[in-house]
């Protein structure tokens, strides 16, 4: 029919195949080809039924996001959906891979659906800050009932083909989409099945019409974690229209909601984040065709906080690891923490009951570094001192097999320096996970001066295999995430010396959308470790020191920057802390002033942006969007604000620069504007306009 849609006929069955790699997104050309093919099949007197299928790795994965914001091209979605739905001949959608977003909506407008066993079906539009805008909120509840529809539409996660069959979203599971779809179409003809148009079938809405709590309870459950995001709430409302309004009216209201979200800033930020994550996969400077090394065995050194979390991430992905410790005692402690962690998740229903035992069985705990001999990848997560790291790496050099990738999880230390402890610096790199490592998705893959391209590719690919989001960065103190974060942490502390309280600073951060504030985080990590380290180094942080002197070591002590009731992790503001801060300031001769929330936000966030600009200047990261991905997946930056660099572009870099200059006078070099930022402002440009590396 055209370059991207093919029409074949197998006697009475027309087969329409979309072939628009990589994901058969519904571009204007695909819509044109689809409409023309269906019309041609309808007017062909030989054709009795139509199968819609896709070539390549997937069914339609949705509207073409790359065409968003461009002038609309015909045929419109409305026209396409009407042609499909009103076809007098049955249309069977045959789904493999992913049937997502507009792709599932196209399938829903067909009269029958079949799918392969491994197919995933879902409406993930909320993840782009949108709602399904082509009838999904009206047809899905009619296909599967409002409860599951709310789960899928408001949560955005897809369901399996088995569940789709169970809940009536598909009619059959098939082995091959094209031939399975065709066989099903023949069955429809043989059995003279009437066309099933979901728009005319309200049967699955009846229960929720009689008892609205079926719907409202599902919405309450699914919006629990949606704080700050608009789309889940608007999407939930649209499912409500399916229950309350006639189909056409529901469809009209759905489109209103879609257009409102589409025009808003949150959706633009979330679309940006989608592409930012994919851009991060393109590694600058990696020669074309670089193959990663095969990884069959993995060893992790150190079963502490991070080593344990990293081992869990591998086991969660079904990959066995050898976990190396210095003593049986340490090993037992580390293994015990992992077991408890998984058991707690199983108890909450997060993983199957038998998962903890199965996952523990994948972890082979051993004592002694000589146990790494068979590993293709070794990740070190021992104490954070250069001497210990060097000792471990020189031993790894002795024991590891040739070609094994040697990774360090160090937070701050130089990978170049660590690599020098070996005779194979080409195999050494950083794999910096974020805490808790079994939860946070970010993995900074640190490319050192001598890291070989295939070693880098190996780390990136294994990180993806364990469901992490890898971002390639260069060597510097703290790499990207911690280096930027520390600028903000420093200001948070400083603000307490001027009159802000921990609860004010933290409230500004959580209102902005961060998952938690700096001081709650300090309490969780424990204040005593920093205190001891300061004492050793002979440095002071008077407020934090005063808290520790008063036995306020954080959550574990029931008091820190906040107080905690027995058995509770909920931080409660404590007048005692205010008194301690007041006394400290008095002792230091400092006057408290009222610090506005706006100032708190600017003081916390603008140094992050400035540091990001310096990181880009130094070539530590390849593109501003990589920094945003680090923040989204390492620190839980609110996705509807895109990331700090994107957010800065939205505020206007001239405004950010002006504030930095204003603060620089009194607050020091963290506010000294990065030359890159000054240049961009002088040229009237944004971070988003910086030239992107080719690969």
Paired strand residues for 469:
442
Between 426 and 435, CB nearer to ligand NAI: 435
Find the catalytic residue in 105, 147, 182, 254. 105
Q: Which stretch binds ligand NAI (CB under 6 A): 219-227, 283-291, 406-414, 628-636?
A: 406-414
Helix (H) or strand (E) holding 388: helix 386-399
Placement of tokens 């002792």 in the chain:
587
The two three-digit tokens of residue 497, written as one number: 């010396």
> What SS3 string covers 253-321?
HHHHHHHHHHHCHHHHHHHHHHHHHHHCCCCCCCCCCCCCCCCCCEEEECCCHHHHHHHHHHHHCCCCE
Residue 64 binding result from ligand NAI, ligand 3HC, none, given CB thresholds of 5 to 8 Å by partner type: ligand 3HC
Minimum CB separation of residue 416 from ligand NAI in Å reads 16
Between 103 and 560, CB nearer to ligand 3HC: 103
For 142, 206, 644, the CA distances from 112, given in Å and listed in that order, are: 14, 22, 45
Residue 410 binding result from ligand 3HC, ligand NAI, none, given CB thresholds of 5 to 8 Å by partner type: ligand NAI
Residues 550-609 that bind ligand NAI (CB under 6 A): none
Minimum CB separation of residue 343 from ligand NAI in Å reads 20
Placement of tokens 């001949």 in the chain:
89
Contacting positions for ligand 3HC (CB under 6 A): 22-23, 25, 61-66, 98, 100-102, 105, 124-125, 128, 132-134, 136, 278
Q: Which stretch binds ligand NAI (CB under 6 A): 44-52, 266-274, 325-333, 464-472?
A: 325-333
Placement of tokens 């309870």 in the chain:
217
Classify residue 39 as left (phi > 0), alpha (psi -120 to 50) or beta. Answer: alpha
Q: Which stretch binds ligand NAI (CB under 6 A): 60-68, 318-326, 347-355, 558-566?
A: 318-326
Are 368 and 349 contacting, i.e. CB atoms less than 8 angstroms apart?
no
For 230, 442, 487, 687, 692, the CA distances from 616, given in Å and listed in that order, are: 32, 19, 16, 10, 12
Placement of tokens 């507009």 in the chain:
102
Among 392, 443, 501, 645, binds ligand NAI (CB under 6 A): 392
Between 612 and 634, CB nearer to ligand NAI: 634
SS3 content of the chain, % helix, strand, coil (to 5): 55, 10, 35
Between 275 and 383, CB nearer to ligand NAI: 383
Between 12 and 65, CB nearer to ligand 3HC: 65
Residue 102 binding result from ligand 3HC, ligand NAI, none, given CB thresholds of 5 to 8 Å by partner type: ligand 3HC
Classify residue 46 as left (phi > 0), alpha (psi -120 to 50) or beta. Answer: alpha
Helix (H) or strand (E) holding 234: helix 231-244
Residue 128 binding result from ligand NAI, ligand 3HC, none, given CB thresholds of 5 to 8 Å by partner type: ligand 3HC
Find the catalytic residue in 125, 171, 380, 444. 125
User: Which of 164, 163, 184 has its CA nearest to residue 175?
Assistant: 184
Residue 134 binding result from ligand 3HC, ligand NAI, none, given CB thresholds of 5 to 8 Å by partner type: ligand 3HC
Q: Is the dihedral of CA 557, 412, 477, 611 positive or negative?
A: negative
Among 79, 118, 175, 383, binds ligand NAI (CB under 6 A): 383
Between 19 and 305, CB nearer to ligand NAI: 305
Between 201 and 329, CB nearer to ligand NAI: 329
125 carries an active-site annotation: yes
Q: Residue 38, exposed/middle/buried by CB under 10 A (0-12, 13-18, 19+)?
A: buried
Query: What's the rounded Cα separation, in Å, for the pair 549 and 547?
Result: 5
Are 95 and 113 contacting, i.e. CB atoms less than 8 angstroms apart?
yes
Q: Mark residues 285-314: x for contact with ligand NAI by CB under 6 A, - for none.
A: ----------------xxxxxxx-------
Between 26 and 392, CB nearer to ligand NAI: 392
Minimum CB separation of residue 174 from ligand 3HC in Å reads 20
Q: Per CB under 6 A, does 435 bind ligand NAI?
A: yes
Residues 180-199 that bind ligand NAI (CB under 6 A): none
Residue 68 binding result from ligand 3HC, ligand NAI, none, given CB thresholds of 5 to 8 Å by partner type: none
Among 23, 298, 381, 629, binds ligand NAI (CB under 6 A): 381
- Site residues, ligand NAI (CB under 6 A): 301-307, 324-326, 330, 334, 369, 381-384, 388, 392, 409-411, 433, 435
Q: Which residues are catalytic?
A: 105, 125
């Amino acid at each position: 029919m055209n370059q991207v849609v093919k029409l074949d006929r197998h006697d009475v069955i027309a087969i329409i195949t979309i072939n628009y790699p990589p994901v058969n997104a519904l571009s204007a050309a695909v819509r044109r080809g689809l409409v023309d093919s269906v019309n041609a099949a309808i007017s062909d007197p030989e054709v009795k039924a139509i199968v819609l299928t896709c070539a390549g790795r997937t069914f339609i994965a949705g509207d073409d996001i790359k065409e968003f914001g461009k002038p609309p091209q015909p045929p419109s979605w409305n026209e396409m959906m009407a042609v499909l739905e009103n076809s007098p001949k049955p249309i069977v959608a045959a789904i493999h891979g992913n049937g997502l977003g507009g792709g599932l909506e196209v399938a829903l407008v067909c009269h029958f659906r079949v799918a392969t066993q491994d197919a995933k079906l879902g409406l993930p539009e909320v993840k782009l800050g949108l709602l399904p805008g082509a009838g999904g909120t009206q047809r899905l509840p009619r296909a599967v009932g409002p409860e599951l529809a709310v789960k899928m539409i408001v949560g955005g996660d897809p369901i399996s083909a088995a569940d789709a069959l169970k809940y009536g979203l598909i009619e059959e599971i098939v082995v091959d989409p094209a031939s399975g779809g065709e066989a099903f179409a023949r069955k429809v003809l043989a059995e003279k099945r009437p066309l099933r148009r979901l728009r005319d079938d309200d049967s699955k809405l009846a229960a929720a019409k009689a008892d609205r709590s079926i719907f409202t309870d599902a919405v309450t459950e699914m919006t629990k974690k949606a704080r700050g995001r608009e789309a889940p709430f608007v999407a939930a409302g649209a499912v409500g229209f399916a229950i309350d309004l006639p189909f056409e009216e529901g469809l009209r209201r759905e489109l209103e909601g879609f257009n409102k979200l589409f025009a808003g800033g949150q959706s633009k930020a979330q679309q940006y984040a989608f592409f930012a994550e994919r851009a991060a996969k393109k590694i600058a400077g990696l020669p074309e065709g670089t193959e990663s090394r095969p990884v069959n065995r993995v060893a992790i050194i150190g079963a502490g906080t991070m080593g344990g979390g990293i081992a869990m991430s591998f086991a969660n992905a079904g990959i066995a690891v050898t976990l190396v410790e210095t003593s049986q005692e340490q090993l037992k402690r580390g293994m015990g923490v992992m077991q408890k962690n998984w058991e707690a998740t199983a108890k909450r229903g997060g993983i199957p009951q038998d998962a903890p035992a199965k996952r523990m069985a994948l972890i082979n705990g051993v004592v002694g570094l000589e146990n790494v001999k068979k590993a293709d990848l070794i990740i070190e997560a021992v104490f954070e001192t250069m001497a210990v790291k060097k000792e471990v790496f020189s031993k790894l050099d002795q024991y590891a097999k040739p070609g094994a990738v040697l990774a360090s999880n160090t937070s701050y230390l130089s990978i170049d320096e660590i690599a020098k402890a070996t005779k194979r610096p080409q195999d050494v790199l950083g794999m910096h996970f974020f805490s808790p490592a079994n939860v946070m998705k970010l993995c900074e893959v640190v490319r050192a001066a001598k890291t070989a391209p295939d070693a880098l590719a190996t780390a990136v690919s294994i990180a993806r295999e364990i469901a992490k989001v890898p971002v390639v960065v260069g060597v510097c103190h703290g790499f990207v995430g911690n280096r930027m974060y520390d600028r903000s942490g420093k200001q948070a502390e400083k603000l307490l010396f001027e009159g802000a309280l921990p609860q004010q600073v933290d409230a500004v951060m959580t209102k902005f959308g961060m998952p938690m504030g700096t001081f709650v985080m300090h309490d969780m990590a424990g204040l005593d470790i920093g205190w001891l380290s300061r004492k050793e180094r002979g440095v002071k942080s008077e407020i934090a020191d005063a808290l520790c002197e008063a036995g306020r070591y954080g959550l574990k002590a029931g008091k820190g920057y906040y107080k905690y009731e027995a058995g509770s992790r909920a931080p409660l503001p404590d007048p005692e802390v205010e008194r301690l801060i007041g006394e400290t300031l008095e002792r230091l001769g400092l006057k408290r002033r009222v610090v506005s929330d706006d100032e708190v936000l600017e003081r916390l966030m603008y140094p992050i942006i400035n540091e990001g600009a310096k990181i880009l200047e130094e070539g530590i990261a390849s593109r501003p969007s990589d920094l945003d991905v680090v923040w989204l997946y390492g620190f839980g930056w609110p996705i509807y604000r895109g990331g700090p660099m994107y957010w800065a572009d939205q505020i206007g870099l001239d405004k950010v620069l002006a504030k930095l200059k204003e603060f620089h006078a009194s607050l020091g070099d963290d506010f000294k504007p990065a030359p890159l930022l000054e240049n961009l402002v002088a040229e009237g440009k944004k971070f988003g306009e910086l030239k992107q590396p080719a690969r």
